[in-house]
Structure 1
Amino acid sequence: MSFDETFDVVVVGGGNAGFSAATTAAQLGAKRVLVVEKAPEDDAGGNTYYTAAGYRCCFDGLSDLLPFLYQPDGTKGLPAELVEKIEMAAYTKEDFHADIQRVTKGRADPVLANVLVDNSRAGIQWLVDNGARFMLSFNRQAFHVDGKFKFWGGMVMNMIGQGKELYQWHTDLARKHGVRIYYSCPAIELITDPSTVDVLGVRVLKDGKYKRIGATGGVILACGGFQASPALRAKYLGPGWDLAHVRGCGYNTGDGHMMARRVGARLIGNYSGCHSVAWDANSPIEVGNRILTNQYTKSGYPLGLMLNTDGKRFVDEGFDLRNFTYAVFGKEILKQPQGVAFQIWDAEQSKWLRTEEYADDVTKNIRADTLEDLVDILVTKGLHNKAQFLSTIEEYNKAVDAFRKENPNQKFDPAIRDGMSTQSLQMSLELAKSNWATPVTKGPFQAVEVTTGITFTFGGLSIDASTGNIISEATRKPINGLYCTGELLGGLFWGNYPGGSGLMMGTVMGRIAGKHATERAQGGRDRLRSQL
């Protein structure tokens, strides 16, 4: 079969997962490695570019991470006086497994979960050994309480420069190892051997012409979910999902699902589920903003309240630490009238909000000295039941006060599940706030309008977790020469996910797929030499 070009390994998609696969292949001896990217170079990076670049991994406490940590300004190492102020527990494999099982309600594929957890620390080490610069997430994953920086939720670090630096680092590293990148080059279909159904390559659209690119070791699909397709969102996620705002890449429209399905791949996982967050209602609709990227996230809801345009609460804002609720609360916002809601704080609660999400040059903050004045402004933003809004907050404040009277020694602590609740013997709300329930009484008051921002979809392709090989629907065996990594993978996340585990799985499975595609390419060359 003739090809316009032939490579050892071809990767479809140029984000964290795709580049992890491509660079690993090149480092392990693949002679020619190619990344084909649908986006033009000035709009590339997939969802990776838009992320906060937080990674969840197992570690043995702060001492395990210190050797490779940087300060935000790029200085290597942390000063001793700062280290002394940090409280950080180890995050064990048992912790990681427990978080996955808890947030997915036990539905996560145990084999995939094992691969993620068991390889997470090694994945971080690979990134670090190749020059990735990590910092502690003081602004995202820690609160300054009683003179200590208390880290919470298991995910404690991110790349300096967030997704923008992560993408640039991946690109530079790949090029350093000889990986070629074709931008503005969408993959159209997989090329198979008609007699064996092995995948031999991929047909792409390059420079206005169709080209056939061979892949001796295989094709690795790393082109994301279908979150940027309103039609597929409505088809799989359900009515109304076509109205969600796209948080990141506008090119993830399900190409990998469709290409793989046409060659018999098995689809698996939570196709009606996705990662979606409370997102700035004034953000772009169809694609993320490449300047503000993740700053449109509005994750300060555990500190205050969220009310819909009917003036009612609709989630337990303090159900769990933010890492384990932010990916599902977007879905709940979409269910509300007009698909919007208002986040509310008083003056004391507002002090804890992160400036990167709530600064006045990032979002449209609504402020007023009294709740009544705030409500009058919110009416112009879509609130249509002023009385219910005020009544909801009044009842909430009464419940908070009743709990405090019964539990005078209970202390607010945003870094743990502090048990500060609205539920007491004297009074309990029908919809609790289970933690961090503090009164909304002190002006000035602050509100932000939020909607649903979709990050990635959970349904995807079935794989052999030991190799990354995509599984055939007909035979339930691996399709030779076809691999998958990243957000296109199905079966791991169901309904929710632990924050930071998406990037981690992309790196882990990308390295596995890159390794096995390289071994297949090398085996093919060995077989050819033996025949000469």
Structure 2
Amino acid sequence: MDLNRRDFLKGAAVASVVAAGSLAVGCTPAEEEPAEKWEYDVDVAVAGFGAGGAMAALTAQKGGASVVCVEAYHQVGGTAMDSAGGATGPGSMEVAQANMPYSKPEFLQTFVDCIGEATNVMEEYDAFIRPGAGGVGFTIGAESTHKARVECYEDLAEKFVDGGGVLLMETKAFKLLTNEDGSIVGLMARKSDGTEIKIKAKAVILACGGFQNNPELKTKFFGPMGDQVFCRAVPTNDGTGLLMAKEVGAALSTGLGTFYGHSMAANADVEFMDFYEIGSQYHDNRCIVVNLDGKRYYDEGAGVAGDMNNLELINQRYARGCVIFDQNIYDEWGSISAGGDKGADRTAEVIERGGRVAKADTIEELAEKMSAWGYHKANTIKTVKEYNEAIDNGTTADLEVPRTTGLIASIIKIVEPPFYATEVVCGVSCCYGGVAINPNGEVLKEDGVKPIPGLYAIPGTAGGITSAHYYRSSIGAAVAYAWKAATCALDYVSAGQE
């Protein structure tokens, strides 16, 4: 049956194929076995068709494997669709080690070696991409818009299906299947209508994201306030990959308490894909950020556009803070997008969605309004005063919490009325911890040494690759390891057929 682009993206045609028990091109029916029935029998099954899952599926297909991919969300491309779209990486081990000092060298080597290979796959499939930052990797989309990124992955999905692959949308993997010796033999998936699908596969690649939308796992790994961390990712990233792997005896990685994201406006009525960009406070590295005690708690200039605020904010009382800025910052940087372009007026959008934003003609009046949210009025006034004085005196490094320029050109005084305060919470885009893998993307057993035969995972689902330090692109690590995992899975499948 020919699955056209519109049908497979909606999932309607795929649903009819599965219900009828027939198969798309490239997949062969499993031999009837007395005790069980398989809807599909393939070489490789991939859980997820985000940036990493698509790379794994396309690489395996390009290598001659029959592939089934299950995607839990209603849209292909995953969380990458509402990022800046950079799938980039380090061009050398020297650059990698300088920028990711907490990562193991062998993991960095895979990142360095494979980001170019992943780019080659995108080019061979004529993907809608642009050069990556520094000439390493690629940038998703023909232009820097959400629409362009979606078009890129819809096009890749169509080519995957046209090439014989099966893509099951709104179909969530929920259980790995093993034989007596613990080797992977397939997976179970569930469609949105509750229908269960049994897929026989010689190898399975987990590319279904982290646990960004699992309050229990976030509390367990991020700390007591973990359930308050905003899921700044596809809502289907609920830890399914980690839980499935753990059930078949997988080890977990280091860095489970670390993550990447940006601070998000608190209390706003939002959903993913609506607020990912406009709710992010990318300008907070030019502002003052205080906790409920009215005190600064981190160097706002550190990190990349608020990502370090996240890691410190989660340790503050109630995991909440307030970004304080003036009209100058509002006008110059209040609508800068993740890609550095002018975008939506984020403060206006936050107000429209019911988020907490205060506006006042004086800092004293602003602090009074913030006090209604629980922020210490006197300390807030004192913090802003001392901050401005330190800039005048050139003593920002001597503040109780030192202030540096970081990646911005200069530190700006908060002096031009009106003044603004936006309350923020943590937002997690990518979990750095997850399933333990080796540099080949093979999932490790509980001993942390031996791999589970036939099981692979990529960053997002897998952890310990980029550790606690963000460098350019979590998407870059995902696609690099997806290429590596798929290539190793092809070797594994080939060896099993000899």
Aligned partners of 1:224 and 1:488 also within 8 Å = yes
Show the 5 A alignment for 1:438-453: 438-453=412-427
Aligned partners of 1:202 and 1:214 also within 8 Å = yes
Aligned partners of 1:93 and 1:118 also within 8 Å = no
- The more displaced of 359-368 and 249-258 is 359-368
Taking structure 1 as reference, are residues 348 and 496 closer, same or farther at Cα in structure 2, changes over 3 Å only?
same
Provide the residue aligned with 1:432 in structure 2. 402
Q: Cα distance, 1:135 vs. partner?
A: 5.3
Matched pairs, number: 441
Distance 1:197 1:171 in 2: 36
Q: Please give the secondary structure, in 2, of the residue aligned with 1:36.
A: strand
- Per-residue deviation, residues 31-75 of structure 1 (Å, max 9, x unmatched): x21111223x2x55432233221233346xxxxxxxxxxxxxxxx
Of residues 324, 330, 333, the one that matches 1:353 is 333
Of residues 369, 372, 384, the one that matches 2:364 is 372
Aligned partners of 1:469 and 1:513 also within 8 Å = yes
Q: For residue 459 of structure 1, what is the amino acid of its counterpart?
A: G
Provide the residue aligned with 1:115 in structure 2. 110
Provide the residue aligned with 1:81 in structure 2. none
Provide the residue aligned with 1:489 in structure 2. 462
Of residues 283, 308, 320, the one that matches 1:300 is 283
Taking structure 1 as reference, are residues 520 and 334 closer, same or farther at Cα in structure 2, changes over 3 Å only?
closer
Taking structure 1 as reference, are residues 494 and 358 closer, same or farther at Cα in structure 2, changes over 3 Å only?
farther
- Per-residue deviation, residues 267-322 of structure 1 (Å, max 9, x unmatched): 1111222224211114457xx422343332112122121112322111111235x2
Aligned partners of 1:470 and 1:479 also within 8 Å = yes
Provide the residue aligned with 1:180 in structure 2. 166
**Which ranges in structure 1 are unaligned for 5 or more consecutive residues?**
60-91, 102-106, 142-150, 404-420, 528-532
Q: Cα distance, 1:125 vs. partner?
A: 4.1
Aligned partners of 2:265 and 2:425 also within 8 Å = yes
Q: Cα distance, 1:136 vs. partner?
A: 7.9
Q: Cα distance, 1:134 vs. partner?
A: 4.4
Q: Give the superposed CA RMSD.
A: 2.7
Q: Please give the secondary structure, in 2, of the residue aligned with 1:205.
A: strand
Q: Please give the secondary structure, in 1, of the residue aligned with 2:294.
A: coil
Q: Cα distance, 1:498 vs. partner?
A: 1.7
The answer as to 2:37 corresponding to 1:5 is: no
Instruction: Give TM-score scaled by structure 1 length.
Output: 0.76
Aligned partners of 2:173 and 2:187 also within 8 Å = yes
- Per-residue deviation, residues 220-253 of structure 1 (Å, max 9, x unmatched): 1111111211111112222111122111211122
Of residues 484, 487, 490, the one that matches 1:512 is 484
The answer as to 2:237 corresponding to 1:252 is: yes
Q: Please give the secondary structure, in 2, of the residue aligned with 1:21.
A: helix
Aligned partners of 1:340 and 1:450 also within 8 Å = yes
Provide the residue aligned with 2:196 in structure 1. 210
Distance 2:113 2:493 in 1: 27
Taking structure 1 as reference, are residues 444 and 125 closer, same or farther at Cα in structure 2, changes over 3 Å only?
farther
Q: Please give the secondary structure, in 1, of the residue aligned with 2:121.
A: helix
Taking structure 1 as reference, are residues 475 and 282 closer, same or farther at Cα in structure 2, changes over 3 Å only?
closer
Distance 1:373 1:230 in 2: 36
Distance 1:111 1:182 in 2: 34
The answer as to 2:94 corresponding to 1:94 is: yes
Distance 1:431 1:375 in 2: 20
Show the 5 A alignment for 1:310-329: 310-320=293-303, 322=304, 326-329=306-309
Taking structure 1 as reference, are residues 395 and 487 closer, same or farther at Cα in structure 2, changes over 3 Å only?
same
Of residues 192, 212, 222, the one that matches 2:178 is 192
Provide the residue aligned with 1:470 in structure 2. 443
Q: For residue 214 of structure 1, what is the amino acid of its counterpart?
A: K
Q: Percent identity?
A: 27
Of residues 215, 222, 226, the one that matches 2:211 is 226
Distance 1:44 1:158 in 2: 13
Provide the residue aligned with 2:390 in structure 1. 399
**Which ranges in structure 2 are unaligned for 5 or more consecutive residues?**
1-32, 336-342, 352-356
